[in-house]
Amino acid sequence: MNTHFSSKCCRIDSFGECRVDGESCRDTAGRRYMLWCMFLSASLLCLVFMALRFGVIENDLLPRSCGPGGSDSDLSCGLAWLLTQSFQAQRLGIFALVFGVLGFLGGIRLCAWVGWLAGVAGLVLYNPDYAAVGALLGLFGLLRAYAPVPMAHEDGQS
């Protein structure tokens, strides 16, 4: 996929990066698009987990007669076990924190996305401590990954 910028051809590589002569040149429209993607994905995920929390967990719709570890063959018992394990001992928050740190310090965009979205889910599902930090680190990693890159002028000055 090619996009033209003032007499230079911008080529999109396999990671979605815009490159001109091997150098990154992220455009403003792409950054704006990613900001909307971050906002909309977090909003949708927040709505889904709020519906899960307030519609299923707090209304006692999860089965109570399951064996230990979700060992019953019923799918609802397995879902109940998995759901309770995600917020016991802050597991979802720690998951978000680990991926948020990897995304922020390592500059790994996929880890930043996972940290951001798992942190948002953890904030809704009873994991506010670690999930808040993981969500912020993931968000900072994403914002840094899509920050504008200064391009050198044609006369060599930046």
In the chain, where are the structural domains located? 2-145
Q: Comparing 24 with 90, which gets the higher pLDDT?
A: 90
Q: What is the mean pLDDT of residues 85-92?
A: 88
Strands (E), 16-116: 18-20, 23-24
Given a cut of 70, whether residue 117 has pLDDT beyond it is yes
Band (pLDDT 50/70/90 cuts) for residue 118 is: very high
Instruction: Say how far apart CA 54 and CA 99 lie, in whole Å.
Output: 27
- Sheet with 2-5, strands from edge to edge, namely 2-5, 8-12, 18-20, 23-24
Mean pLDDT of the chain: 79
Residue among 47, 109, 93, 30 at smallest CA distance from 138? 109
Q: Which tokens in the block code for residue 155?
A: 């006369």
User: Are the CB atoms for 88 and 122 separated by under 8 Å?
Assistant: no
Whole-structure pTM value: 0.72
Spell out the SS3 assignment of 10-28: EEECCCCCEEECCEECCCH
- Asked which of 74-88, 89-103, 108-122, 131-145 is least confident by mean pLDDT, the reply is 74-88
Where on the phi/psi map is residue 72: left (φ > 0), alpha (ψ -120 to 50), or beta? Answer: beta
Q: What is the pLDDT of residue 87?
A: 80
Q: What is the pLDDT of residue 48?
A: 94
DSSP string, 107-149: --HHHHHHHHHHHHHHHHTT-HHHHHHHHHHHHHHHHHHTS--
Q: What is the mean pLDDT of residues 75-80?
A: 80
Q: Which tokens in the block code for residue 146?
A: 């899509």
Q: Comparing 17 with 54, which gets the higher pLDDT?
A: 54
Q: What is the pLDDT of residue 1?
A: 45
